[in-house]
């Protein structure tokens, strides 16, 4: 991680604060860029700003608690004003690959519950076309996961079981992740549906037609891109 990338993450995270109104219900994403958003939000809460959040990971929940950001119950029926999250890749059509940190299932649930989905990234995450070197994380239940993997690979895509510290990585929901290698994703809509149609797949890291705004932190400042409304 270069200093420029870190500065871009910080700038994007802090810039997202302008979209959070007083009294908002906010989805709190996961990852290193969201950390800067949470730190900025925590400072504002400390000064008396009212907000409630729903975290997309246990890690985010811990940081929000440390910052005294009030949280909604995980089992709630939330109607969120907005959600703020990072991404591993963003293309010019505002389609995403997410889940590098493993929280894709909760992240997609929260994004779908929000009226506005704001994505904060550094400029390295902006790509002309989604795909490798970023694999698509696919969350699958542990039961019979090699069978699920075989179905994925029968469609022509290589995949590998995610491990961390030489152990099988488990999501907050107790599932495993298969990282699926697709060189170039020309139609994320079709691929998202194909992956989710495989028995054993819980969800995948393609976020299609969900993003409202992308805040891009770069070496020359902040660039805010709003998705056109047709």
Q: Which residues are catalytic?
A: 107
Q: Tokens for 39? A: 């730190």
For residue 98, give Cα distances in angstroms to 48, 208, 215, 221: 33, 11, 16, 24
CB-based burial label for 133 (10 Å; 0-12, 13-18, 19+): exposed
Q: Tokens for 27? A: 């989805």
Please state, in angstroms and rounded to a whole number, the distance separating the CA atoms of residues 84 and 69: 14
Count CB-CB contacts under 10 A for residue 33. Answer: 28
């Amino acid at each position: 991680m270069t200093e420029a990338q870190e500065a871009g993450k910080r700038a994007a995270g802090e810039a997202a604060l302008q979209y959070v109104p007083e009294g908002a219900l906010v989805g709190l994403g996961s990852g290193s860029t969201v950390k800067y958003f949470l730190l900025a939000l925590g400072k504002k809460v400390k000064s008396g700003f009212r907000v409630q959040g729903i975290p997309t990971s246990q890690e985010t929940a811990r940081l929000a608690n440390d910052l005294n950001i009030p949280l909604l119950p995980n089992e709630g029926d939330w109607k969120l004003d907005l959600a703020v999250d990072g991404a591993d890749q963003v293309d010019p059509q505002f389609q995403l690959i997410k889940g590098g940190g493993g929280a894709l299932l909760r992240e997609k649930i929260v994004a779908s519950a929000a009226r506005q989905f704001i994505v904060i990234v550094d400029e390295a995450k902006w790509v002309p076309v989604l795909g490798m070197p970023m694999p698509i994380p696919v969350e699958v239940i542990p039961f019979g996961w090699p069978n699920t993997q075989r179905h994925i690979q029968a469609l022509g895509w290589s995949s590998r079981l995610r491990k961390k510290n030489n152990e099988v990585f488990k999501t907050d929901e107790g599932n495993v992740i298969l990282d699926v290698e697709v060189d170039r994703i020309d139609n994320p809509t079709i691929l998202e549906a194909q992956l989710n149609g495989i028995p054993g797949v819980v969800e995948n890291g393609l976020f299609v037609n969900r993003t409202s705004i992308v805040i891009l932190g770069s070496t020359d400042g902040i660039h805010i891109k709003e998705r056109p409304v047709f």
